[in-house]
Amino acid sequence: MERFVSRKGKTTATADNVLLLPSSPSLPYDLVLMIVARVPRVYYRTLSLVSKSFRSMVASPELYKVRSVLGLTERSCLYVCLRFGLSSSSCKWYTLSSKSSGGGYVLARVLMPNDDYPDVVGSIYSDLVAVGSDIYNIATHLRGGVSILDCISNTWRKAPSMPVELESLSAEVLDRKIYVLGRSYHHQDGSWKNWLHIYSTQIRKLGISLAVDWTWPVTLLSLTESSTG
C-alpha cells in the first residue's frame, strides 16, 4: 500500500500500489478531495473500505468534478450486470477494480445507495445501453420501464417512459440517441403492432415514436450511421 514517508524534509511515496491518505481530522476536506482525485479510479473500492468518510467521498459528484478539471477522467470503465437467480432482485453490478495485493484486476461489487432499484435490471426483455457515463435500462412496461444508472455516483434515476407499452424490444445507440424497436399487444382486436422509439439522451426526452412494419423477431445490431440519412 502506498504511504507518504517524510525523508530529509521531502515527502516521497513508497512503491506499493494504493494511496493511504492521512486520517488526521485537521486536514481540510478540499485538500483531501484533491489528493483522492489523483488516485486512479480502480483503487476507489479499496479507499471506500477505509472509512465511511472515504466511502462517501469516492461516490460524491464533487470528486468527479475535480477529476474532470484536472483532466484525470478515464475514457471508459467496465460495468458488468450479473443475475444469480431467477428473481429480479438477484441482479448485481460489478466494475473493474485493482487487487489489494499481488497486482492485476478483479470484478468488484458496485455498492449503490438504491441497489435494488430498478429491481429488474438485467431481467428478460430488458436491454442495457451505455451513453457517456450513464447506462440506460430500456425495459418492457412489465419490467419497470426506462431507468438510468449514473456511473459517477452509482445511483439510479427514472427516465421518461415510452409512450407505448412494449412487450419485447431491442435497443441500440447511435449519435447519442437510443433507438428502440419493440412491439405492443392490442387487447381490443388481439393484434400486435411494431414500434420504433427514438430517445435523445442530450435533452433526455423522447423524440420520435413511429408505428413500423417488419417481420419479428428483429434486432438493431445492423443499425449504422447511413441509416439516418
**Of all helices (H) and strands (E), which one includes residue 78?**
none
Q: 79-88, 195-204, 208-217: which range is least confident on average?
A: 208-217
Q: How far apart, in whole angstroms, are the C-alpha atoms of residue 128 and residue 136?
A: 6
Residue 119 has pLDDT above 70, yes or no: no
205-212 and 191-200: which strand pairing? antiparallel
Q: Is the pTM of this model over 0.75?
A: no
Per cent of the chain over pLDDT 70 is 62
**Between 164 and 78, the higher pLDDT residue:** 78
Q: State the CATH class of domain 113-228.
A: mainly beta
User: What is the identity of the amino acid at 165?
Assistant: E
| Mean of per-residue pLDDT scores for the chain | 70
**Between 40 and 26, the higher pLDDT residue:** 40
Q: How far apart, in whole angstroms, are the C-alpha atoms of residue 134 and residue 201?
A: 9
Closest CA to 115 of 86, 139, 93: 93
Interval 198-221 mean pLDDT: 59
147-153 LR contacts (CB < 8 Å, sep 24+): 147/117, 147/118, 147/121, 149/79, 149/93, 149/121, 151/77, 151/79, 152/61, 152/64, 153/59, 153/60, 153/61
Domain boundaries, the chain: 4-69, 113-228
Closest CA to 145 of 123, 162, 157: 162
pLDDT in tens, 141-152: 655 567 888 887
Rg, C-alpha atoms of the chain:
22
Q: Match 494511496 to its residue by C-alpha cell.
A: 19
pLDDT in tens, 67-77: 888 887 766 77
Interval 116-126 mean pLDDT: 50
80-85 LR contacts (CB < 8 Å, sep 24+): 80/107, 81/121, 81/122, 81/128, 82/122, 83/122, 83/123
Do 13 and 2 meet the contact criterion of CB atoms below 8 Å apart? Answer: yes
Residue 212 has pLDDT above 60, yes or no: no
Q: How far is CA 120 from CA 110, 129, 136, 215, in A?
A: 16, 15, 13, 28
